A and B are shown apart, each in its own frame.
Chain A
Amino acid sequence: NAGVTQTPKFQVLKTGQSMTLQCAQDMNHNSMYWYRQDPGMGLRLIYYSASEGTTDKGEVPNGYNVSRLNKREFSLRLESAAPSQTSVYFCASRRDFYQETQYFGPGTRLLVL
């Protein structure tokens, strides 16, 4: 099993450009999550999908959109990138229920100039 995979690993964008971060999991998990990691801020939840066909906002959703394409894939889109979106983005998944552990992808490092 590959677990949680993310593409790309690293990306440089100019302000105003758009891009989609891809995430896939092969563990048959129901829930998937997108976080951003910034120095001193820990992990902040951007959007999540508790099950296929549903998405909800997290703590910091502004400037992002998501798509739960199917049970395996959950993408994060930046429509018009801003320097404030420079960050490391982590995708995670978990099977179900509050006591289940989340499994994280390797992260995507995004630089917006």
Chain B
Amino acid sequence: ILNVEQSPQSLHVQEGDSTNFTCSFPSSNFYALHWYRWETAKSPEALFVMTLNGDEKKKGRISATLNTKEGYSYLYIKGSQPEDSATYLCALGGDDKIIFGKGTRLHILP
């Protein structure tokens, strides 16, 4: 079973500060790396899908990078806002299924 690790598990960030967190995965047989945003009492929503080593994606204040050779991806949030409070999931996409990490729970402090 593929193992997708995310760190830290939980993070408290002051509003206005920037932050980042990590997703680690096996670098062999890589297909795709997904990032999802999951707000409490809602369903996960897709942020990015990355497939190539060195990929960088950006959506507003959120961006992500991918290193498939060493098996990690970073998610960055610039100038955190209260609406950024959520759990951020990364997932390894295979040819038939997606395996999720346990997520990083981000709390934005006013």
Contact = CB atoms under 8 A, between A and B. Distances in A.
Say if A and B assemble together.
Answer: yes
Interface of A: 31, 33, 35, 40-45, 48, 50, 56, 58-59, 90, 94, 97-107
Contacts, number: 61
Interface pairs A-B: 10 shortest CB-CB: A42-B102, A98-B31, A104-B43, A101-B46, A98-B93, A50-B96, A43-B100, A98-B32, A99-B32, A48-B97
Q: Which among A58, A94, A99, A105 has the highest number of chain B CB atoms within 10 Å?
A: A99
A40 B105 CA distance: 10
A99 B102 contact: no
A35 to B, nearest CB: 8
Contacts of A50: 96-97
- Interface magnitude class on chain B: 20 to 34
Contact of B100 (A42, A98, A99, A107): A42
Contacts of A101: 34, 46, 49
